[in-house]
Amino acid sequence: MTIHPLHTLPDSTQAGLSTPYDSVWATAGVPTAEPVGLERVMLAEDKLYVVLAVVLIIWAGVLVFLFRNDRRLARLERRLEQGTPPEPGTHLD
Amino acid sequence: MPGALPDIDLRRYRWIRNGVVVWMTAVLLGAFLLDIPRINILEHTARNLYFHVPMWFTMMAAFFVSAYHSFRYLQTEAPVRDVRAEQAAVVGALFGILGLLTGMMWARFTWYVGTGKWWNFDPKQTMAAVQLLIYGAYFVLRSSIEEPRKRARIAAVYNLFAAVTLPFLLYVLPRQMESLHPGAEGNPAFSDITHPIMRLVFYPACIGFIGLFWVLYTQRVRMTLVRKRLQDHLDPEPAL
């Protein structure tokens, strides 16, 4: 599918901020079938939940990182306590 | 050689960290509260411009930081350069993976609605996955060499090659093909449908995520330097 540059304004009934932009994917064929399953949830509220899901993915990624660092720190502390040097090298954990 | 490992400027680090926290909070608020035009298919997901795209900018910034330190390592052979190159690549890969996942989520409920497709081999998507594999090989390469100086040198050379492929895989090649991504068919990166008001959040989001990268990266570097100090302290004998 291609994003076509804008040529003509659509004769939209509701003129507003978005009017000139509505035509851009006019050729793409907006699905009209009733969404089912996961899509019913994600397409609700003008698809705002998709943005929420994207933000949650990023948040989860940062959390994974946080917990890995935590584990790494705990290992360092344990080594410091026991007086055993870490393995040579700079492996991730 | 304990003296060979320099300290991080913690004062500067804390200032930037706090700044990033405040800045990103403002970006998040702006991303959800600022009114944007509704476009067919996209609807509210146009807001993903503030999240998905900065992931890639951040990844590229991280990989270039990594390449810079690899280059400096080859010049100076200072162990800290190797640590910085590795940790920047680690955090860069994190942002790359998040970029892929957010892109999959975005496309699934916009262009691929009704098809059930999560992955459709869009040129940019495919090249980005290849790019991540190239950096995955960097980590495999590192873990396969035991001797620290040799590992650092070989990894640095590989890393420079990996960075060179970056603009080609993410810019040059995808633009030669039809793609969902703007920039295909020779268009500039911002497509005609991007309302100017979105730049108000988009640019700060890029700066904010690159700041977040810098915070995470500096944390990792600090941790690795502590690890090296501990190693030198408890076991001064082995190499490095």
> In whole angstroms, what is the distance from residue B207 CA to residue B50 CA?
11
Which of B114, B182, B230 has the CB atom closest to A3's CB atom?
Answer: B182
- SS3 at position A6: coil
- SS3 at position B112: coil
Q: For residue B190, what pLDDT band results from cuts at 50, 70 and 90?
A: low
Give residue B60's identity as a one-letter amino acid code: M
Whether residue A3 is predicted with pLDDT greater than 70 in this model: the reply is no
Q: Tokens for B30, please give them.
A: 């702006």
Q: Tokens for B89, please give them.
A: 């690549």
Which of A16, A51, A57 has the CB atom closest to B98's CB atom?
Answer: A57
Q: Indicate the domain borders of chain A.
A: 33-82
Q: Is any Cβ of chain A less than 8 angstroms from the Cβ of B110?
A: yes
pLDDT digits (tens, 9 = 90+) for B140-166: 999 999 999 999 999 999 999 999 999
Closest residue in A to B54 (Cα) is: A58
If contacts are CB pairs under 8 Å, which of residues 28-87 in chain A contact chain B? Answer: 28, 30-31, 33, 35, 39, 42-43, 45-48, 50-51, 53-55, 57-58, 61-62, 64-65, 69, 72-73, 76, 79-80, 83-86
Output the average pLDDT for chain A. Answer: 71
Name B50's Cβ contacts closer than 8 Å, sequence gap at least 6. Answer: B27, B30, B31, B198, B201, B202, B205
Whether residue B236 is predicted with pLDDT greater than 60 in this model: the reply is yes
> In whole angstroms, what is the distance from residue B163 CA to residue B141 CA?
15
pLDDT digits (tens, 9 = 90+) for B69-80: 999 999 999 999
> In whole angstroms, what is the distance from residue B217 CA to residue B225 CA?
12
> In whole angstroms, what is the distance from residue B170 CA to residue B84 CA?
24
Which residue is associated with the tokens 């980005």?
Answer: B128
Any alpha helices (H) in chain B, and if so which ranges?
10-33, 52-76, 79-108, 123-144, 148-167, 199-234
- Between CA B138 and CA B145, with CA B140 as vertex, the angle to 5 degrees is 100
Whether residue B195 is predicted with pLDDT greater than 90 in this model: the reply is no
> In whole angstroms, what is the distance from residue B27 CA to residue B209 CA?
10
Q: Which residue has the higher pLDDT, A83 or B10?
A: B10
Which pLDDT score is estimated for B60? 95
Min distance A52 CA to chain B CA atoms (Å): 9
Percentage of residues of chain B with pLDDT beyond 70: 91
* Contact: A25, B180; criterion CB under 8 Å: no
- In this prediction the ipTM stands at 0.87
Say if CB B102 and CB A58 are below 8 A apart. yes
Name B188's Cβ contacts closer than 8 Å, sequence gap at least 6. Answer: B182
Which has the minimum average pLDDT: A22-31, A71-80, B37-46, B203-212? Answer: A22-31
* Contact: B184, A31; criterion CB under 8 Å: no
* Contact: B227, A86; criterion CB under 8 Å: yes
Q: For residue A28, what pLDDT band results from cuts at 50, 70 and 90?
A: low
What's the gap between Cα B73 and its chain centre? Answer: 20
Which pLDDT score is estimated for A17? 46
Give residue A55's identity as a one-letter amino acid code: V
Which chain B residues touch A55 with a CB distance below 8 Å? 28, 51
Which pLDDT score is estimated for B183? 65
